[in-house]
Every structure is written in structure tokens, then in C-alpha cells.
Amino acid sequence: MSSLPSEGREFVLAGHSNKWALGTPRGHSGPPALVQRECFGRIGHFAVEETPLPRSVTYWNLFVEAARDRDAVLSYEGNQHVIGFLFVPKPGFDFIEPTVPGPLAARAAIIPRRMVEARFAPSMSGLRSLLKRLQEGGARRCLVVGTPPPSDDIGRFEKEVRSSAFWAKTFEQQKFNIESAQFVSARLMLKLWAVLQDVTEAATREAGGTFIRVPDFLRDANGFLAPEHRLRQDFTHAADSFGQEMLRHTLSA
Amino acid sequence: MAPHPYRSMPPKAFWRRGVANGFDPVDVMARPLLIHRGEKVVSAGSCFAANIVPYLEAAGFAYVRTEVVPPAFGAIGDDNFSYGRFSASYGNIYTVRQAVQLIERAMGRFKPVESRWIAASDIVLDPFRPGLRYPACSEAEFDAITTRHLECVLEALREADVFVFTLGLTEAWLSRPDGAVFPACPGTVAGIFDPAMHAFHNFSVAEVSADLDRLIALAREVNPRLRFVLTVSPVPLVATATREHVLVATTYSKSVLRVAAGEAAERHREVSYFPAYEIVTGPQAPWDFYEADRREPSRMAIDNVMRAFLSRCESSAGGAPAAPTQAEVAAETPARAPAPEASGDTPDAMQALSRAVAEALCEEAAAEL
């Protein structure tokens, strides 16, 4: 029988879009606030904000202040492998990622993995400075949660995008020809995600935090997001079931 | 006055009329056109060779690029794929022997003993591209990158009509076991110098001539329609490994290259020599043709060289193209992936849209998809 959560075991959770799956209450209106919830025998304080993007300074300040003497659980960005890579001009590129074995794309430019790391590196500056602030503010531990791997059903998303009025309008605004657009392959996106996890882990460690990798049991045999945790219309985020398992895994670290 | 051969010579044959008075670099070459309308150009050679590329592209010529920076990585820096200033990412090729060996490697006919330098368990260096910004993490990655690179070398040769090659140096450092030529002395840019493995060599006229013959034969084996334009770099040696003064060593080196290039043009119908070296280094050249270090050709010098070069090329409209302005030259961004022809969509648009989709999905995630 577990005892009541003590003050020392409380945590504060904040971050970007993957925080929703981790249990952040949706539909908040008003200024940034903390919503308390018990999770896996611990008291959690979830930072909420009305405006989805970008997070306001007030939101981050609230997080830093609330993290004093508590564990800070952070889901920071995590979509860099989609931003800039969803569409690729022919002949595209590929690279060796040891965790995603298999043949390289034919006729693609083969680039060094270090180049991909360098591509993601600048996006870590915000994470580093936030971790620094959290530590200076007295956070007990800084836990950075790994973001969900992509699904291997990007083809389904592609089909939806090509037939959706919403996306047609978005494409038109960008003066982009939806008919000829070439989507990235699911394997390449998985590789990019794998590098992003490594880069995020390195940045977290350098800043004195702990990075929580996505465990194998939340992934399929090829490393993609396990089917039971996928969302129907969104291939970059995961279902709440993934988030709950990830939060349990994080809090047990 | 008795007739003699000089009576029928044009003004350019006389120093007083050809050089001392009214010199125009456009007049220094009388050979037929270097590049015909619609022809594609591949280039390689020393650092000076890279200078011509933005001029060719700004003037509307099709410069072959088979190995480019994927657009998603363009923001990392201009040299982020390294060696991106040529048709493929082979970087500077200072000696003809190195160019020969590059094509032989691409054709699978030469496998250097020192094919890689393993600097650490996760750092594998390319001895033939020692300045690559991002070394391979493993031998498997090194093999994948190098194999694709060599395929791109052959693709570039196959695709082109004209091969512009700039001869840079005679001095080189070789791998003793098989004579593989490095672009830089091991230990300077990368690797470790080992006197048991590495030797200095200064190529002779006979060797450079033989290498040029071999280069032409190999390239035409890959692509029988290839024609060649040879130039000699006017950039002096940065240092010599001979016991000579660097100025004396430079004169030897450039003299050998100039003779070998000229003789190759005499021997081969499909080879032309373009006198970039003479335009920049001749006594007629103004002081301003070199920067203050007297080594780096100035923008003015390159402008003059390229004005003369382009005057011997045929534009898409016929006739010589107008020399591009500095702004047009500067606007050329080498080593970037071209926009896909089929869609007309630009890489920038693709990235912008990728971002838009990702952000929209984030919004939707918040709205409980």
C-alpha cells in the first residue's frame, strides 16, 4: 500500500505540444496557471496556458517558480524532425543511422550523421537556458521527456493531406503544388527523430538534466510508434495512452 | 623590303601592339569556342577553378551539379557539405595525378591503401577530402558517403559536354604503398604525417603530360563526347617542400603546368588551353590583380579572366554572353539543391510548408484531435 505523496515527491510538468498526451488538462482559459493532478502516486502540477503557441514568458516563469523543490518534467519541442523535412525535393537525402538499419535510399545524397546533428543543434539553445533557469530556481531534478517516434503510416497522412480542403488552402497560401509534392519517407523521418533524441539527450546532460528516452515497449519492432498509441490524423504526436506510459516511465526514473 | 613570316602576323603577335598598347584580355585567345550553346559544364581543379563557377552560372550556362547540399541543411553554412564549390564534392584537386586517381577510384580501378584515416573510434577521415566538415562516425558511414560521392563524380562526367580543369600544383604528398596523391600533406589539414608512409613528390613535365593524357582518356571513356578546357591557376604556392625559395618553386611549378597544358592542347583535338594564368600574371597585369599578399587574385583579376573566358563561349541566344555583374555573380549560391523541375516548387517553399504543417499539427494536438 502506497503512502500519500509527500511534498518532496511532487512534480511540475510543462512544455510544448507533447505535454497534452502527458496529461496536461486541455481547454484552459485565462492566464497561465497550474492544475494539480495525482499521477502514479505523486502530486503533479501541470502548467497550462490558453494560447497554444508560442509559450509566453509568463508561462515559463510560472513553471520555473513552481519547480522549486519539486521535480521539473519538461517536454520541450520535439517536432524538429518534421519542421523542414516533411517535404523533400528529389533526389532527397539519406544517412546512416545505426538504430534504423536497412538500405539507403537509391540516388539520394548521402550525408554524414553529424550534419543532421548540426542541423538540430541550434534548436537546443532554448532547452539549455530553460534547464539552467530551473536549476538556478531550485528544481530538485530536471527530467526532459523523449518525444514520440513517428508512425510508419505517413502514407495515410499524405493521402489525407492531398485530399483535404484545409491542407489544400495551406498549400495554396505557400504557393506550393500539392500534386507534385514529395513526402519524406517514414524511415527517414524515424532516423531524423533518432538523431533528435540523441541531440536532445546530449544537450540535457550538458545542462545537468536527465533525458528520458522512449522505451522500447512503446515502439513497434521497427522502432516506430506502436500502433496502439497512434493518433488517427496526426503522425507527429501520440495518443494519451503513450503519454501516460511515458509519464509513468519518467516518474520512475 | 623582303617578305618574311612576320609581315602577315596580326597585331596581337607583336608585343608593342598586342601588350604594351591597348591590351585587352579578350584578345589573348583565338581558338574556337570553348563552350557551345546549350552545353553543360563540369569543372575541377585547384582553388582558382572554383572562381569560374559563379560566373558561368550567372551568365546562364548549365553547370553540372550532381552532389549538392540538401536544402534542409542550407542554413548550417555555405560550406556545410564541404567541397561544394564544384560539380561534385571532391574539393580542390591540385595535381593532375589526383584527378586521374579520383576518376580511377570512381571507375573502381584504384583502391588506395590509405583509403581512410581512423582518428578515433567515431571519427573516420577522408584522406582525399581532408577538410570535410563532418567526418564519418563509422567505417560503414564512411563507405556509404564515399561510394555515393564517387558515383556523383561519374554522373557529373557523364552529364557534361565540357570539362574545365585548372592545373594548380606539381608538388604533392603521396602514400608510399601505392602512390595515392593527397590534396594536402597529411598532418596539415587532417591525419597524421608518417614519414614511413608519406613521401613528397614534385611532378615533372613528362609526368604531368602523361597524367593529362590519362585524364583525358579516362574521362572520355566515361563520356566520349567530352571536350576539355585546360587552365593553369595563377595562385602561387602557399609553401614549398623543396629546398628552393617559394618564388622559385612557384615558377617551376607553374612553368611545368603551363607547358604540359599547352602540349596537351596541341596533341588532342578535343582539348583547348585558356590563358587565365597569362592574363593574371603577365607583365601587362596591373598591380591590383593580386591582393596585398601578392598571392590571392583580386576580384578585378577574376572579372577580367572571366570576361575573356565568356567571350569565347556561345550564349543561349548565340554569340558571346554578356559578362555578369558582380551582383549576379554574388547571387549564385553553389552547392545548393536546385528546385525540382517537375513541380516548380522551391526548396524554401518546401521547408516553409513543412513548418506550417508541423505547427498546424501542434495546434490540432492542443485542440484534442
Could you tell me which of B213, B97, B232 has the C-alpha nearest to residue B168?
A: B232
The whole-angstrom separation of Cα B150 and Cα B102 is: 8
C-alpha cell of residue B113:
591503401
Helix ranges restricted to H, B83-204: 96-106, 139-159
Chain B contact for A79 (CB, 8 A cutoff): yes
Out of A26, A79, A112, the one facing B141 most closely (by C-beta) is: A112
**Tens-digit pLDDT string for chain B (369 aa):** 788 999 999 988 999 999 999 899 998 987 679 999 999 999 999 887 888 889 999 999 999 999 988 888 877 765 555 567 899 999 999 999 999 999 999 999 999 999 999 999 999 999 999 988 899 999 999 999 999 999 999 999 999 999 999 999 999 999 999 999 999 999 998 999 999 999 999 999 999 999 999 999 999 999 999 999 999 999 999 999 999 999 999 999 999 999 999 999 999 999 999 999 999 999 999 999 999 999 999 999 999 999 999 999 987 666 777 777 766 676 654 444 443 333 445 666 666 777 777 766 665 555 543
- Using alpha carbons only, give the angle A81, B140, A195 rounded to the nearest 5 degrees: 15
Map residue B263 onto helix, strand or coil: helix
Q: Inspect the interface and report whether the beta carbons of B350 and A176 lie closer than 8 Å.
A: yes
Asked whether A102 and B150 are in contact (CB, 8 A), the reply is no
Q: What one-character DSSP code corresponds to residue A7?
A: G
Mutate to test the interface with B, among A17, A26, A235 (most CBs of B within 10 A): A17
Burial B147-167 (b: 16+ CB within 10 A, else e): ebbbbbbbbbbebbbbbbbbb
Q: Beta strand B40-45 with B62-63: parallel, antiparallel or unpaired? A: parallel
Q: Is A172 on the interface with B (CB under 8 A)?
A: no
From residue A114, alpha-carbon distances to A76, A126, A149, B336, B341 in Å are: 22, 21, 20, 18, 29
- Which residue ranges in chain A fall short of pLDDT 70? 1-8, 51-53
- What pTM value is reported for the model? 0.89
Instruction: Determine the residue of chain A that is closest to B75 in CA distance.
Output: A119
For residue B88, the surrounding DSSP H or E stretch is none
* Contacting residues of B for A179, CB less than 8 Å apart: 343
Residues of chain B neighbouring A177 (CB-CB closer than 8 A):
343-345
- What strands lie across the sheet with B171-175, from one edge to the other? B181-182, B171-175, B198-202
CB pairs under 8 A between A and B: 162
Task: Count CB atoms within 10 A of the CB of residue A108.
Answer: 18
**CB contacts, 8 Å: A95 with chain B:** 141
From the list A20, A176, A177, which residue is nearest B366 (CB)?
A20
Contact between residue A8 and residue A34 where contact means Cβ atoms under 8 Å apart:
no
Residues B361, A236: C-beta atoms closer than 8 Å: yes
Closest chain B CA to residue A240: B368
C-alpha dihedral (B8, B14, B17, B20), degrees to nearest 10: 180
What are φ and ψ of residue B214, in 5° steps?
A: -70, -40
Distance from CA of B121 to the nearest CA of A (A): 14
Q: Is B69 helix (H, G, I), strand (E, B) or coil?
A: strand
Nearest chain B residue to A231 by CA: give it. Answer: B369
Which candidate from B353, B359, B369 shows the least CB-CB separation from A174? Answer: B353
Residue A103 contacts B where some CB pair is shorter than 8 Å: no
Burial class (CB in 10 A: 0-12, 13-18, 19+), B185: middle
